[in-house]
C-alpha cells in the first residue's frame, strides 16, 4: 500500500465544515422542517438528544474526512477541482449507492434520500477540494 500524507489540520477543518454545513442544511433556514417531517423526527426529542448527537457526528465527520484524505492522496489531487472531483466519485460510488438501499428495501421516501444525499454530495465535494489544496 502506498504511503499516504495526511494533513491533519485539513482533516480537522473538513470536520468543522461538515458540522457547519450540516447545521445549516438541517436547520429551519434550509431543509430542517422538511427533513423532520419526511423522516418522522420528533423535534422535541431531537433537541434533547442534540448535544451527544453533535459529538458523535463530529467524530464521524473526522473519520470520513480522514478516509477521504486517503483517496485525495491516492488520486494525487492537488487542486480544489481535482479534490472536488474525487469527493464526487466517492459520493457516487459509496454514499449514493449504499444509501439507496434504504429507499429500495426499507421503503424510505426517495425525497429523504435526495435531501440527505444532497448534503453528503456537497460536503464531499467541498471537503475533497479542501483536502486537495492542503495536501
Q: Per-domain residue ranges for the chain?
A: 8-133
Task: For residue 77, give Cα distances in angstroms to 5, 41, 99, 133.
Answer: 12, 39, 26, 8
* Confidence band for 43, pLDDT divided at 50, 70 and 90: confident
CA dist 73 and 20 (Å) reads 25
Question: For 54-110, how does the pLDDT look when each residue is reduced to its tens digit (9 = 90+)?
Answer: 999 999 999 999 999 999 999 999 999 999 999 999 999 999 999 999 999 999 999
Does the pLDDT value for residue 1 go beyond 80? no
Q: What is the pLDDT of residues 112-133, one digit of tens each?
A: 999 999 999 999 999 999 999 9
C-alpha triplet 20, 22, 28: angle, nearest 5°: 100
Res 9 pLDDT > 90: yes
| pLDDT given at position 65 | 98
Give the pLDDT score at 84.
Answer: 98
Amino acid at each position: 500500500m502506498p504511503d499516504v500524507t495526511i494533513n491533519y489540520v485539513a482533516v480537522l477543518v473538513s470536520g468543522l465544515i461538515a458540522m457547519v454545513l450540516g447545521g445549516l442544511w438541517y436547520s429551519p433556514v434550509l431543509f430542517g422542517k422538511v427533513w423532520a417531517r419526511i423522516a418522522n423526527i420528533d423535534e422535541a426529542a431531537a433537541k434533547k438528544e442534540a448535544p451527544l448527537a453533535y459529538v458523535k457526528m463530529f467524530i464521524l465527520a473526522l473519520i470520513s474526512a480522514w478516509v477521504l484524505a486517503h483517496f485525495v492522496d491516492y488520486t494525487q489531487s492537488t487542486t480544489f477541482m481535482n479534490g472536488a472531483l474525487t469527493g464526487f466519485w466517492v459520493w457516487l460510488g459509496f454514499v449514493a449507492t449504499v444509501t439507496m438501499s434504504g429507499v429500495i428495501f426499507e421503503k424510505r421516501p426517495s425525497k429523504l434520500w435526495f435531501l440527505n444525499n444532497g448534503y453528503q454530495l456537497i460536503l464531499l465535494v467541498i471537503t475533497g477540494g479542501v483536502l486537495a489544496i492542503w495536501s
